[in-house]
Chain A
Amino acid sequence: MEFAELIKTPRADNVVLHRPFHAAVEGTLCLTGHHLIFSSRSRDNAEELWLLHCNIDSSEKRFVGSLGTITIKCKDLRIIQLDIPGMEECLNVASSIEALSTLDSVTLMYPFFYRPMFELVEDGWCSFLPDKEFEQLSSVTDEWRLSCINRDFSVCPSYPAVVVVPKSINDEELRRVAMFRQGSRFPVLSYYHRKNGMVMMRSSQPLTGTNGRRCKEDEKLINATLRPGKRGFIIDTRSLNVAQQARAKGGGFEQEVHYPQWRRIHKGIERFNILQESLIKLVEACNDQSHNMDRWLSKLEASNWMTHVKEILTTACLAAQCIDREGASVLVHGSEGTDSTLQVTSLAQIILDPRCRTIRGFESLVVREWLQAGHPFQQRCAQSAYSNSKQKWEAPVFLLFLDCVWQILRQFPCSFEFNEQFLIMLFEHAYASQFGTFLGNNENERAKLKLPQKTMSLWSWVNRTEEMNRFKNPIYEANSLVIWPAVAPQSLQLWAGVFLRWNRPSKYLDEAQEEMVRIIKYNKELQDKVKVLRRHLAELEEDEGMREN
C-alpha cells in the first residue's frame, strides 16, 4: 500500500493553528505518510509543529461558510485546532488525517520507517536481557533457575522465552502448572528481596472452576518459595465477589484447603473499560471551561481516577509490606495477570528496591514487568481519552501505573534519579512513538514482527547522555531504604503534569525547575573549584616543605 493514496492533499497554505496559551499562527500544513507538519514563517520566529498521525486520538471537522476547522485531539491529551480555508481543501485534509491516523496494520506504523538521526551508542533491544538480569540474582541466591520451557512461546504465548522459576520445579511440572492457570501464565519470579530473601511471584488466576479443581504441581511450585514453617500471602487483585464469579467461567482462586500455608487477600482493582471510562471522564473534567469550582470537584470525583490510583497504590504497599515487614513471600494475580497484577508487582518493587528508582533500574523494571511480562500495550494503548471506539481491551493501565509512580516521586522527591518528565515521556511513547519498544502485545508478537531488527528501541535513544540529562532529577540522592508512600486522599494529588499539561501555563513552574537546577549546578561547580584549589595548595605547600628541608 502506498501512503500517497491516502494523502488527498499533501499541502495546504494559509492555515491557522490554534493552541491553548499560544497566539494563533498562520502557516503551511503538510501531510506525510506519518506526520502532520505545520510550519509558519511569521516575522518573529519560524515555528514547526510535527505531529505523528498515530498520536491522533480523534479528529472532527466543522464549517463556517467556506472556512473549515479541524479539531485534533491527541493521545497525549493535547487539543489543537486548524483553520483551513476552502471547503474542499479542508475535507481532503480531514479525510487524509482520518485515514492516516487509523491505519490498522502494525507494519505500517512509523517505527518501521523511522531512521534515527543520532549515533547509536547502545542497542536498547539488548540492554535488559533476562540472562543478564538473572546473573545478578544468582549472585545472591541459588534457589532459582532460568527455564527455557517457553523458548518458542508454545507453553505460554504471552510470556517471554525465558522465565525465572524455583529450582526444585522441573519443566515437566511447569507444563502441568501452565495448564492450571489462565492463559498458561504459571507463577514466575517477579522480585527477590535481598534484605530478607523473600520473593514476589506473579501469575494468572488458577482454573479451579466451580468444582474446585486442584493441581498438585501448582501447589508444589508456590510452596517451594516458602521458608520452613513460614506462611505466604496471595494477593488477589479482584474483590472476593469478582473472584467468586470467575469460578463460573472456569477461573477462580486458591482454596484454603489446598493452600494451607497461604493467606489470601482480596483487593478490588478495576480493569478494562471501567478504567478507560474513568480516563475519559477525568480528561473531560480537566478540559471543562466552566468557572464553577463545585463542578470541577464533583467531576473529578465522578471520574473515579483518583480512587483507582489510591486502590492500586494501597495494594502495592500491602504487597511490599508483606514482604518487607511480615517477612513473607507473596504471589500476586488477578484474572489474566497482565494488568492489575503488573501494576502491583512493579509498584511494590519501586517501594522496596532502590535500584528501581534509578533511570536504568526503572527502564529495566518496565522491560521486565510490563513488556516481557506480556502487558498487551498495543491493545491497551490503541486509543486514549478522546476515543469513541470504547473497545473492551483499551485501558490506561500503564498510565495509571505511571501516575502511581509520580505520586511516590512527589512524596519522596529526592529518592528518584529520574524526574517527572521521564514518566511523561514514557506515557507519550506508550501511546505513539517512533520507536518499536511498545509495539506488539507480548514478546512473541515482537519476535514475529522482528522489531529488534526492523525498528529502533526507545532505550537506545533515551540512554544517550544528551537525552538522559533532560530526565535527571537534580536533587536525587541515592536512598537505600524502603520508601512507604502515604495513600490517604489528602496525600494524593491529580497528576497535573499529564492531565493539566495543556490547560495551564507552565512558565512559572518551569522556571522553578530551572532555578532548582541552577542552585544544584552552582553548588557542584563550587565543590569542584574548591577541590582543585585544595589540591593545588597542597602541592604548593609540599613543594614549600621540601624546599625548607
Chain B
Amino acid sequence: VENVRLLDRLSSRKAVLGTLYLTATHVIFVENGSETRKETWVLHSQISSVEKQATTANGCPLLIRCKNFQVIQLVIPQERDCHDVYISLIRLTRPVKYEELYCFSFNPKLDKEERQQGWKLVDLTEEYNRMGVPNNYWQICDVNRDYGVCDSYPTEVYVPKSATAHIIVGSSKFRSRRRFPALSYYCKGNNASICRSSQPLSGFSARCLEDEQMLQAIRKANPGSDFIYVVDTRPKLNAMANRAAGKGYENEDNYSNIKFQFIGIENIHVMRNSLQKMLEVCELKSPSMSDFLWGLENSGWLKHIKAIMDAGIFIAKAVAEEGVSVLVHCSDGWDRTAQVCSVASLLLDPYYRTMKGFMVLIEKDWVSFGHKFNHRYGNLDGDPKEISPVIDQFIECVWQLMEQFPCAFEFNERFLIHIQHHIYSCQFGNFLCNSQKERQELKIQERTYSLWAQLWKNRADYLNPLYRSDHSQTQGTLHPQIAPCNFLYKFWSGMYNRFEKGLHPRQSVTDYLMAVKEETQQLEEELEVLEERLANLQKSQLGDNKVKSKQRDRSKQLGLSTSNNSLANTPQEYSNDLKSFPSRSPSQGDEEDSALILTQDNLKSSDPDLSANSDQESGVEDLSCRSPSGGGCLPSEDSGKDSDEAVFLAG
C-alpha cells in the first residue's frame, strides 16, 4: 500500500510518508524520504493487537501494538486498503499451526553442524553436574523417561535418593497435573536445596502417604537440617479457594517437620491487567509527573515485582543462611514457581549471573520445567486469558537487581531486552510450545535454530564492563536490602518505553566503558609487541640487525590500528545529527534515526534489535516531550501576533 503515513506517537506533525508492505513474516514500512529510505520491520509474531480506528479526513488510522512494547500508528489513505491490511494482519498475527511461525522459515545460513552445536551450548545434564548432583543424596529418576508420569516435566528429573519410584508416582498422583516435587537448585556448600512442584490435591482433608514421604525424603537429603520450608507463592485466599476444588496446600499437621509459608504473588490474570495498566501509562501522550506516578502506582506493577523479589530473597536466605531446603509451589507450579525459583537461584549462585549461566537458568527453570511459553506469550492463536507477562516479570527482577548490584552481572541490560524480544519473536525454536514433550515431537532442534548460540556469538555486545570475575560483588550470595526499600524499585523505561529513544539517557556509560576496555586490550597487545621489539632491537644492536625492516612494517600497521581505535573511542558521533538538523523547526527534524526500526541489515544478522546497540547519541531531543503543557512547538513568526497567551499555555 502506498502513501501510508507513519505517525509519531508524541507529535502529529512528525508523520512520515511511505509504503507499507506485508510479507509472510513481516510488516515492513519503507519511508519515501529519498536519502535514507528508512525501514521499519515488524515480525507478525511480535504484534499483539491491531486496531482500526474511526476514519478521518486524512484516511484510516491503524494502530499496531507489539509485544516488545513498540506501538506503531499508521494512516492509510483508502478505507478499503486499510480494511484489507487489517484483515490480513489479523490472520497473519494469529497463526494456528507451529509450522507457520517464523523460526521454521528463518535461516541464519548456518550448516547442520553449526545448528547442532548451537543447541548443545546449553546442556542441563552438565548444569546439574556443576551443581554437584547426582551425589549421595540426589539422583536422576527415570520414571518420567517417556513422559509417562508427567507430560509437562522433562525426562530427566532429579529427586532425593531415598524417594523410590513408588513414592514418586504416588506423590505425582497427589499433585496438580502430576507435577511432583523435583530438584531445581542444589547448594553444594551445605546440601540445602530448592525443590519445586504443583499444589497438592489436598482439598479439605485428603492426604497422601507417598507425598508425605516425598517431602520427608527431601528433608533427609539435607542432613544438616531438621525441617524444610514449604513455600506457597500464592496469596492465602487464593490457596484456600483452591481447596474447594479438591486442590489446596499442605497441612502442617500431616507433614512432619515442615514449616509452611504463604507468599502472596498474584495470579496471571492480575499480572496481565497490571501490565496493561502500566502500558497505558507509558502510552500517554504527554503525561504530567502526577499522571505518570499515579498511573504507575495504580497499575500495581512495581508492587508485584517486589513481591516476586521478596519471595526469591526469602528462599535464598533460607538456603544460604539457614541451610534449610525449600519446596516451592503455586497452583500448577509453572509460573510463579518458575519466577521465584529462578530469582532465588540467581541470588544464590554467581554462575547464573554470567551470560552462559543465565541462559542455563532460563533453560532449567523455565524451558525444561514446562513453562507454557506458547500460551503465555500467545505464539499461536489461543485463549487471550492464558496470556500473561510471567517471564517478563522475571527479566525485570533481574534488571532491578542489576541496578542495585552494578558489578554483579556479566551481562548488560541489552542482553535482557534481546531475550525478552525473542521470547515473543518466534524467530528461534527455544521458546516454542508449552513443554519439552511438545518440542521433541515437533523436532524443534532439527528444524529451527537456538537463540543461545546467536546471543553467544554476539556476546561482546552484551557484556557489562563493570563485571570482573574476581570482584567481591560477583562472589557468593547477593543480599538485596529487604528493610523498607520500595524506593529501590524503579520504572524500567529501557524496556517499556524502549522504542522511544528520546526518553533515554543520551550517552551510555556501558558503551563508553566497553569502548575504553576494548582500547585497553589493544593497548595491552601493542605494549607486548613493543616490548618484544625493544628486546629484539637491543639484541640486534649487539650484532644481528636483519629482522629490522620487517618489524618496521609491523609498527606502521599497528600505529594505524590504534589511531582508528581511539577514534572509535570517542562517544560523540552525534555532531552529524546536529548538522542535519533543520535549524528553524525544532519540532520537525532530527530524531534518532534508528529509534523505531528493525532494519534489514539487523535482520540478516538475525538480531533484529541491534538498533539498541548502535545507540545514536543524539544531542537533540524531541521538543514535544520537553514542553508537554503545550503544542510542543514554538509559535512561528506569524502564528502568534496578537494573542496574549503563547501556545505553550494551551495545555
Contact = CB atoms under 8 A, between A and B. Distances in A.
A533 B534 contact: yes
Contacts of B623: 321
Contacts of B469: none
Given A410-B505, A481-B619, A505-B481, A296 B290 contact: no
B297 interface: yes
Interface stretch (B99-107, B111-119, B489-497): B489-497
B504 A541 contact: no
A411 to B, nearest CB: 4
B574 A301 contact: no
Nearest to B297: A297
Interface residues of B, number: 99
B473 interface: yes
Interface residues of A, number: 87
Interface string A250-280: 0000001000000111110000000000000
B645 interface: yes
Nearest to B294: A301
A291 B485 CA distance: 7
A517 B533 CA distance: 31
A326 B584 CA distance: 6
A541 B627 contact: no
Contacts of A301: 289-290, 293-294, 297
Interface stretch (B191-199, B369-377, B515-523): B515-523
A526 B524 contact: yes
Interface string A483-525: 1111111111110100010011100110110011001101100
A360 interface: no
Nearest to A484: B621
Given A297-B297, A490-B292, A503 B487 contact: yes
A527 B300 CA distance: 50
B520 A515 contact: no
A288 B517 contact: no
B404 interface: yes
B466 A293 contact: no
Contact of B527 (A286, A317, A492, A530): A530
Interface stretch (A150-158, A206-214, A306-314, A422-430): A306-314
Contacts of A512: 406-407, 466
B297 A294 contact: yes
B507 A306 contact: no
Contacts, number: 251
A44 B614 CA distance: 51
Contact of A490 (B300, B306, B491, B627): B491
Contact of A486 (B292, B562, B621): B621
A412 B505 CA distance: 6
A415 B507 contact: yes
B288 A489 contact: yes
Contact of A294 (B300, B526, B649): B300
A325 interface: yes
A318 B626 contact: yes
B571 A477 contact: yes
Interface string B625-651: 111110000110100101011101100
Nearest to A485: B621
B126 interface: no
Given A297-B297, A489-B289, A500-B487, A414 B571 contact: yes
B128 to A, nearest CB: 30
Interface in B275-321: 282, 286-294, 296-297, 300, 302-303, 306
Contact of B526 (A265, A298, A530, A536): A530
Contacts of A139: none
Nearest to A234: B646
Contact of A519 (B282, B507, B517): B517
B640 A307 contact: no
Contacts of B289: 301, 304, 306-307, 309-310, 489, 492
Contacts of B493: 490-491
A393 B517 CA distance: 50
A536 B534 contact: yes
B489 A288 contact: no
B572 interface: yes
B578 A475 contact: no
A152 to B, nearest CB: 40
B456 interface: no
Interface in A521-547: 522-523, 526-527, 529-530, 533-534, 536-537, 540-541, 543-544
Nearest to A492: B289
B629 A314 contact: yes
Contact of B649 (A266, A414, A500): A266
A483 B571 CA distance: 14
Contacts of A504: 481, 485, 487-488
A515 B471 contact: yes
Contact of A537 (B465, B512, B530, B570): B530
Contacts of A294: 297, 300, 303
B465 A519 contact: yes
Nearest to A267: B648
A500 B642 CA distance: 48
B407 to A, nearest CB: 5
Contact of B503 (A318, A491, A516): A491
A326 B406 CA distance: 41
B602 interface: no
Most chain B CB atoms below 10 A, which of A266, A309, A493, A530:
A530
A353 B274 CA distance: 43
Contacts of A475: 509, 512-513, 516
A158 to B, nearest CB: 29
B523 A307 contact: no
B502 to A, nearest CB: 6
B624 to A, nearest CB: 9
B407 A515 contact: yes
Contacts of B497: 490
B642 A526 contact: no
B530 A540 contact: no
A482 B506 CA distance: 12
Contact of A489 (B293, B486, B578, B584): B293
Interface string B128-158: 0000000000000000000000000000000
Contact of A266 (B288, B503, B645): B645
A516 B527 CA distance: 22
Given A500-B487, A519-B513, A414 B507 contact: yes
Contacts of A522: 520
A205 to B, nearest CB: 16
B385 interface: no
A290 interface: yes
A314 B491 CA distance: 21
A481 B507 CA distance: 13
Nearest to A547: B541
A298 B294 contact: yes
A548 B545 CA distance: 10
A493 B513 CA distance: 23
Contacts of B621: 317, 484-486
Nearest to A326: B634
Contacts of A412: 505-507
A256 B505 contact: no
A246 to B, nearest CB: 15
Given A412-B505, A413-B505, A314 B626 contact: yes
Contact of A533 (B287, B527, B627): B527
A326 B291 CA distance: 30
B309 to A, nearest CB: 11
Contacts of B124: none
B504 A325 contact: no
The 3 closest A-B pairs by CB, nearest first: A489-B292, A484-B621, A512-B406
12 contacts: A290-B486, A293-B300, A297-B302, A321-B626, A481-B619, A484-B621, A490-B491, A491-B503, A515-B466, A523-B520, A540-B534, A548-B545
Given A297-B293, A536-B534, 11 more contacts: A240-B649, A290-B486, A307-B288, A413-B505, A482-B578, A484-B620, A488-B287, A490-B491, A491-B503, A519-B466, A540-B534
